[in-house]
């Protein structure tokens, strides 16, 4: 039987996976989405922020992992705007600034928000962890101009901040380096709470920072984004993808189960 | 000179920054911040290094019309387009962002999403519980998948709880051990580099 | 169906990548090279932007002449492409980058990843979970530090390392499960784009 499985053209498996994931996207099933404790604590930190508080959102994810972590940043930015919290957007990964801009674009015109007053896109600084240290020590020096080449010392939102102690929360959304480790290390000794959003695969390795209280909330992947959307009462693209996520898992698990069944049957047969 | 000067620089800035951590002297602090801001500038130059290599390899392939020169010329055109629009029109210009949003971003996302197909194929052919360790890995992985996808909860309401338990207990212990080990590793590598014992970053010769 | 140039281009790029699943082909190779070229050009532009805003402008406009030092260091990085014996000059900026980076990481890692994590493991052993966390963490460390011939015959360490191995396998299993999940998310997003944003079927 194992030989038979090995002889199946891999392209059949690809087609099955593609169709199974596609089906619920076109015809949603509406499976329930429960909220995990990680998302709940992330939400609680954001929810207790007051209008006028300033937070930092660091968009440190690559376009490759963006679809997994980006929806988290979108949901949280929407929530922050609804609460009239001010957001300093920044990036320590070269591909960050345009992706940050995609998140804030809907608020650039209309919706009663003003660029430079309610939010800002500071752009990118090279140097990974070292650049994060420079930013925490003196934000305007590390970013002399924003993404649109406006001097940061003329931007209203930047008038009341010097270093990381001047913001309430720092959020990092990451696909690798720089990520939670770099931010936790370089924010030690500063006052803001740290919240982390990562691609799903980084969730487990970030757990120790969460359990030790070094970070106050942890979102991993599209599932967490879906939970956040539901929790904030603004279901979006992440929640819409959860049915497909479920059926995709079923395909992978069935494939593993079938493979292992064949393996054990083969071994039993061989032993006889 | 060729070795001693770089080693001296590494040790000097390294110990300066470590020293800054333990004392509160304005002069030391100021220069630590200066050094970190200088890194932004030097690291920005480093972003161009890979491109120089690409230009050399693919430029040669195109000029000599070697196999694959068509693809290489596509690469060079893309490289030049992004460089020219980014530098002369600006990285927030429409021309630059158009290529990022409609070419670079979807290409990147699609390339990496291909992996799920290979995972599906490998699940079928390769992921076998051949030992107790492999079984632990597979079972933990499957429960996680069921617990974190809405369908798991529909199949059995306890799946999310078990998945949470895996994350909060065995996974926590495993990753915490790795993290403590890695921290010891970082410190020991740092000492080796700052004392000039580890010189790998200087390359050959 | 949205036939705007941008969306259609993005859709074609996605399909070009997926065509690899059928078999390797010219369309895929072009997409692949386009991807590498765009990424490299993008990095140069972003890097240049940083050099201009953080060094050249303050130097020329505000007279911060000290910034000549990092500019010079940055330029030296490219001496590695010089013919002859001047390649070694590229080591000077590398030395600066490595010295600064590793010192910043190490000085913070002691507290953030060593002391804090050990502190978080000092918990009352009043529940099965707490006991598992403490024993598991120590087990993993035992696996790292004591799984050599040196410790053979010391049963405590041997079994400690064994516990560590199983705990790590469970952790890797969690990473594997999460990894599959993340990859499916990426596929979902591409399908949402092709069938939703482009074809308008969702």
- Residue B11's contacts (CB-CB under 8 Å, 6 or more residues apart) are B194, B195, B196, C99
pLDDT score for B128: 86
Q: What is the mean pLDDT of each run of 10 residues along chain C (202 residues)?
A: 88 94 93 96 95 95 93 94 86 94 93 93 93 92 72 70 88 93 94 93 84
Helix or strand (DSSP H, E) at A12: helix A10-26
| Among the listed residues B193, B201, B200, the one whose alpha carbon sits nearest the alpha carbon of residue B46 | B201
Q: Could you say which residues of chain A have pLDDT below 70?
A: 1-2, 270-272
pLDDT score for A28: 87
* Residues 28-57 (C) with a CB less than 8 A from some CB of B: 29-51, 54-55
Over residues A152-167, the pLDDT tens digits come to 999 999 999 999 999 9
* Residues 181-200 (C) with a CB less than 8 A from some CB of B: 181, 183-184, 186-187, 189-190, 193
**What is the bridge-based pairing of β-strands A169-174 and A86-91?**
unpaired
Interface-testing mutation among A243, A252, A265, with chain B (most B C-beta atoms within 10 A): A252
Question: What is B93-157 written as a DSSP string?
Answer: SHHHHHHIIIIIHHHHHHHHHTHHHHHHHHHHHT----SHHHHHHHHHHHHHHHHHSHHHHHH-T
| Interface residue B67 vs chain C (CB under 8 A) | no
A contact chains, 3+ CB pairs < 8 A: B, C
pLDDT score for C153: 65
pLDDT score for C150: 58
Q: Average pLDDT, whole number, for chain A?
A: 93
pLDDT score for A272: 44
CA distance C108 to chain A (A): 5
Across the B:C interface, residue pairs with CB atoms under 8 Å apart total: 407
CB A49 within 8 A of CB A83: yes
CA dist C107 and A195 (Å) reads 22
Q: Could you say which residues of chain B have pLDDT below 50?
A: none
Over residues A224-255, the pLDDT tens digits come to 999 999 999 988 888 888 999 999 999 999 99
Q: Which structural domain, as residue segments, surrounds residue A132? A: 37-234
Q: In what order do the strands lie in the sheet with A119-124?
A: A119-124, A86-91, A54-60, A169-174, A193-198, A217-220
Dig out the tokens for C33 from the structure.
């090279």
Residues of B in Cβ contact (< 8 Å) with A102: 101
CATH number where A214 lies: 3.40.50
Is A2 within a domain? no
Dig out the tokens for C184 from the structure.
């499916």
Domain ranges of chain C: 123-202
- A 10 A CB-CB count for A41 gives 15
Residue of chain B nearest A32, judged by CA positions: B150
Own/partner pairs, B194-199, CB within 8 angstroms, 24+ separation: B194/B10, B194/B11, B194/B14, B194/B15, B194/B18, B194/C99, B194/C102, B194/C103, B195/B11, B196/B7, B196/B10, B196/B11, B199/B3, B199/B7
CA dist A155 and A87 (Å) reads 13
Q: How many domains does chain A have?
A: 1
Is A10 within a domain? no
Residues of A in Cβ contact (< 8 Å) with B48: none
CB A104 within 8 A of CB A93: no
pLDDT score for A238: 87
| Among the listed residues A131, A58, B108, B97, the one whose alpha carbon sits nearest the alpha carbon of residue C45 | B97
pLDDT score for A69: 96
pLDDT score for A245: 92
Flag if C171 and A244 touch (Cβ within 8 Å).
no
* Residues 35-64 (B) with a CB less than 8 A from some CB of C: 35-52, 54, 56
Is A49 within a domain? yes
Residues of A in Cβ contact (< 8 Å) with C117: 208, 212
% of chain A at pLDDT higher than 90: 81
CA dist A90 and A96 (Å) reads 8
pLDDT score for A32: 87
Over residues B24-61, the pLDDT tens digits come to 899 999 999 999 999 999 999 999 998 999 999 999 99
Flag if A252 and B120 touch (Cβ within 8 Å).
yes
pLDDT score for B3: 84
| Among the listed residues A39, B180, A226, the one whose alpha carbon sits nearest the alpha carbon of residue C185 | A226
Flag if C120 and A211 touch (Cβ within 8 Å).
yes
Across the A:C interface, residue pairs with CB atoms under 8 Å apart total: 143
Query: Which residue among B117, B121, B164 places its CB closest to the CB of A36?
Result: B164
Is A123 within a domain? yes
- A 10 A CB-CB count for A219 gives 30
Residue of chain C nearest B33, judged by CA positions: C100
pLDDT score for A172: 97
Flag if B33 and A253 touch (Cβ within 8 Å).
no
């Amino acid at each position: 039987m194992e030989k038979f499985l090995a002889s199946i053209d891999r392209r059949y498996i690809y087609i099955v996976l593609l169709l199974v994931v596609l089906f619920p996207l076109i015809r949603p099933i509406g499976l329930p989405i429960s909220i995990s404790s990680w998302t709940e604590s992330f939400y609680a930190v954001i929810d207790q922020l007051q209008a006028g508080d300033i937070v930092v959102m660091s968009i440190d994810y690559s376009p490759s992992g963006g679809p997994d972590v980006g929806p988290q940043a979108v949901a949280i930015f929407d929530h922050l705007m609804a609460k009239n919290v001010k957001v300093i957007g920044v990036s320590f990964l070269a591909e960050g600034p345009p992706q940050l801009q995609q998140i804030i674009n809907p608020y650039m015109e209309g919706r009663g928000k003003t660029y430079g007053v309610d939010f800002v896109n500071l752009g990118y600084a090279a140097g990974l962890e070292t650049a994060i240290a420079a930013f925490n020590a003196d934000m305007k020096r590390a970013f002399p101009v924003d993404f649109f080449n406006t001097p940061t010392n003329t931007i209203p939102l930047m008038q009341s901040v010097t270093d990381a102690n001047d913001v309430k929360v720092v959020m990092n959304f990451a696909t690798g380096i720089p990520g939670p480790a770099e931010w936790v290390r370089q924010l030690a000794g500063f006052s803001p709470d740290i919240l982390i959003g990562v691609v799903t695969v980084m969730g487990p390795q970030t757990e120790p920072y969460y359990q030790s209280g070094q970070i106050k909330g942890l979102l991993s992947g599209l599932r967490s984004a879906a939970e956040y959307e539901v929790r904030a009462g603004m279901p979006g693209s992440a929640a819409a993808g959860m049915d497909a996520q479920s059926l995709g898992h079923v395909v992978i698990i069935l494939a593993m189960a079938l493979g292992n069944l064949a393996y054990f049957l083969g071994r039993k047969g061989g032993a006889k | 000179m060729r070795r001693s000067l770089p080693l001296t620089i590494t040790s000097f800035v390294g110990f300066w920054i470590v020293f800054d951590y333990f004392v509160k002297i304005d002069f030391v602090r100021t220069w630590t911040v200066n050094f970190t801001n200088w890194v932004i500038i030097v690291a920005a130059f480093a972003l161009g290094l890979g491109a120089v290599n690409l230009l050399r390899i693919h430029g040669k392939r195109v000029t000599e019309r070697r196999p694959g020169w068509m693809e290489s010329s596509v690469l060079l055109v893309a490289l030049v387009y992004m460089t020219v629009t980014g530098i002369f029109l600006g990285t927030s210009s429409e021309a630059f962002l158009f290529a990022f949003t409609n070419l670079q971003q979807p290409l990147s996302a699609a390339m990496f999403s291909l992996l799920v197909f290979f995972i599906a194929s490998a699940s079928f052919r390769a992921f076998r519980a051949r030992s107790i360790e492999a079984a632990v890995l597979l079972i933990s992985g499957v429960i996680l998948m069921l617990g974190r996808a809405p369908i798991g909860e529909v199949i059995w309401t306890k799946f999310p709880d078990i998945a949470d338990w895996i994350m909060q207990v065995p996974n926590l212990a495993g990753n915490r051990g790795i993290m403590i080990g890695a921290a010891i590793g970082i410190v020991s590598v740092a000492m080796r580099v700052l004392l000039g014992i580890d010189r790998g970053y200087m390359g050959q010769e | 169906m949205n036939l705007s140039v941008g969306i259609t281009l993005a859709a074609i790029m996605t399909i070009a990548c997926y065509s690899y699943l059928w078999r390797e082909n010219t369309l895929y190779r072009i997409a692949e090279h386009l991807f590498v070229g765009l990424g490299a050009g993008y990095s140069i532009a972003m890097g240049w932007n940083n050099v201009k805003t953080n060094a050249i402008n303050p130097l020329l406009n505000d007279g911060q002449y000290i910034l000549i030092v990092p500019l010079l260091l940055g330029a030296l990085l490219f001496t590695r492409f010089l013919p002859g014996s001047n390649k070694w000059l590229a080591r000077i900026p590398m030395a600066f980058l490595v010295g600064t980076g590793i010192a910043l990481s190490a000085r913070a890692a002691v507290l953030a990843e060593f002391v804090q994590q050990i502190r978080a493991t000092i918990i009352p052993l009043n529940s099965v979970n707490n006991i598992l966390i403490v024993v598991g963490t120590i087990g993993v460390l035992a696996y790292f530090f004591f799984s050599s011939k040196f410790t053979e015959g010391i049963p405590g360490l041997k079994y400690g390392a064994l516990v560590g191995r199983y705990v790590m396998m469970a952790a890797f299993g969690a990473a594997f499960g999460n990894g599959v999940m993340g990859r499916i998310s990426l596929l979902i997003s591409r399908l949402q784009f092709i069938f939703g944003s482009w074809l308008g079927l969702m």
